Amino acid sequence: MDKDILKRYDENIYKIMAENFGDEIFVTDGEGIVLFVNPAAVEVIGKPLDELIGRDVRDLVKENYFKPSATVEVLKQRKTVNMIQTVRGDKHVLVTGVPIFDEFHEKIKMVISTTKDVDAINELLQTIEIQREEITNLWSIAFEEADYVVGDKNSEQIKTLMKIAPLDMPVMIQGETGVGKEVAAKAIHLLNYGKKKPFVKINCGTIPENLIESELFGYEKGAFTGAEREGKKGKVELAGGGTLFLDEIGELPLSLQIKLLDFLQDGSFTRVGGTKEHNIKTRLITATNRDLNKMCDDGQFRKDLYYRINAIPYYIQPLKERPQDLDALSKHFLTICNNKYGTKKAFSESAIDMMHKYNWPGNIRELEHTIEHACVMSEEHMISKDDLGLTMNDYVNTDSDIIFKRIVPLKEAKLYAEKYLVNIAYQKYDNTYKVAEVLGIDQSTVVKLLKKHNK
């Protein structure tokens, strides 16, 4: 650095800087005699500059221009001092006094004091607190609208969700079936866009392979037999400017994975049967209960697509690992049932204990159905352990059988057998086509049964 660089500047540069500085600057010599006061400090003290320069700071204290004096304390303590000072009897400022020593660090040559308006600081803090409360209220509204129920809003899971929500980057939500992946996706969308932008969902596991491309990207008129006369927009177009949620992304056929990857790279696509290129900007959120990394190793999922959609991974723990959420969700679902059926049911201690001991393999979805069933079937005000047992104890699930511990109506038994078989098969294979194969039914029937029993 050029040693003479400062010579290029006006010799009064530091004075100009101090005079135009927003905070107050007050300088004395080593005896407490005022050497310099910038305009901001003159205005706060309320005394003309020519009546301040050359005065002893102790006299200004006696005349009640300010008290106590940070300068006096610095001279006494020979170190930096911070204190609250009263100016002209009613104004409070935060003062920092700094000693400037000689080259031998023996004698104080000057004391430089700077001040900040305490009232202004408090007002700023109050504004920040109000804004924090407003943000918290917006978060609460978003969680409520998304039906996202948690036992602790300060949990790490919620903190993570709120951090990633404003980022317009792909999010991949992972977790077991029924843990609330779609609810989390809606919460992320609402925290980012509110209701003003579209949230469009497509379940990659419930649409036949020959139709999923047209569902995603739309089609032009005459694209295929049965197509609408004017063509149709796909989910990608409908989600423009908002969020596209692809549930069960692991079910997406390899042929469609390439087209989805192309769209994610530049935001462009063509409808089925068309040649015109469309450009859409949308945020992608995907969800899966499968190990996509392993699927990549097995050649069932494209690695380049996996890395593209997994920019921000978000994992939701199974319900059995979230006891606080279990309590909150139980109360939530019971309130819904009481409102729905005009009842005033409550949980007994034995019922609460049973719910905490149970493993909940079906997670939140199973909890919801269990509570609704218990609420309807319970004849007493208090829902007991036995009432919950209608869905947890009366039917003992094994690897190959459903064992009924008591006699039940045949229609009810068939319903539970149907529900159990389709759900246990889907949990095992994670593929509606494979479930159809092992159950000996059509894939479309599997889709209908999953929707019927897991609403």
pLDDT in tens, 205-235: 888 877 888 889 888 876 666 666 777 888 9
Task: Please state which of the ranges 193-202, 285-294, 426-435 shows the lowest mean pLDDT.
Answer: 426-435
Task: Name the average pLDDT for the chain.
Answer: 82
Domain with 345 in it: what CATH number? 1.10.8.60
Spatial CA neighbour of 112 closest among 101, 120, 122: 101
Note down the domain range covering 386.
321-453
Does residue 311 sit in the same domain as residue 338? no
pLDDT over 80 at 7, yes or no:
no
C-alpha to C-alpha distance for 120 and 124, rounded to whole angstroms: 6
CA–CA separation, 49 vs 119, rounded Å?
24
Query: Once rounded to an integer, what is the mean pLDDT over residues 307-314?
Result: 93
pLDDT of res. 74: 93
Nearest to 370 by CA among 379, 383, 353: 383
Q: Which residues contact 388 (CB under 8 A, 6 or more apart)?
A: 351, 354, 355, 370, 374
Beta strands in 69-166 (DSSP E): 81-87, 91-101, 108-117
Residue 130 domain-assigned (yes or no) = no
pLDDT at position 307 is: 93
Please give the pLDDT value at position 286.
96
More confident residue, 357 or 60: 60
Average the pLDDT over 153-160 and give the result.
Answer: 76
Q: pLDDT at residue 399 above 50?
A: no
- Residue 11, pLDDT > 60, answer no
Most confident stretch, 156-165, 387-396, 423-432 = 156-165
3-state SS of the chain: helix, strand, coil percent to 5? Answer: 50, 20, 35
Q: What is the mean pLDDT of residues 315-328?
A: 89
Q: Is residue 211 part of a domain?
A: yes
What three-state secondary structure class fits 388? helix
Lowest mean pLDDT among 117-131, 177-191, 244-258, 280-294: 117-131
Number of domains into which the chain is organized: 3
Strands (DSSP E) found in 386-446: 395-397, 402-404
In a domain, 134, yes or no: no
Residues 214 and 276 in one domain: yes
| CATH number of the domain encompassing residue 283 | 3.40.50.300
CATH number of the domain within which 68 lies:
3.30.450.20
pLDDT at 368 over 80: yes
Query: What does the block give as tokens for 24?
Result: 């107050």
pLDDT score at 310 = 93
Q: Which of 117, 136, 164 is the last residue of a domain?
A: 117
